[in-house]
Amino acid sequence: SKWKGEALVELVKALLSKNEIKAAKTIMGEISSKWKGEAQIELVKALLSKNEIKATKTIMGEISDPSEKVEAQFKLVKALLINACSQV
The whole domain housing 35 covers 2-86
Q: Is 45 exposed, middle or buried (0-12, 13-18, 19+ CB in 10 A)?
A: middle
| Residue range 28-47, pLDDT digits in tens | 888 888 888 888 888 888 88
Radius of gyration of the chain, Cα coordinates, nearest whole angstrom: 13
Residue 88 scores a pLDDT above 80: no
- Domain containing 80 — which CATH number? 1.25.40
What is the count of structural domains for the chain?
1
Q: What is the pLDDT of residue 53?
A: 80
Question: Model's pTM, two decimal places?
Answer: 0.67
Which whole number is the average pLDDT over 51-74?
83
Residue 87 scores a pLDDT above 80: no
The Cα 43–Cα 15 span in angstroms is 10
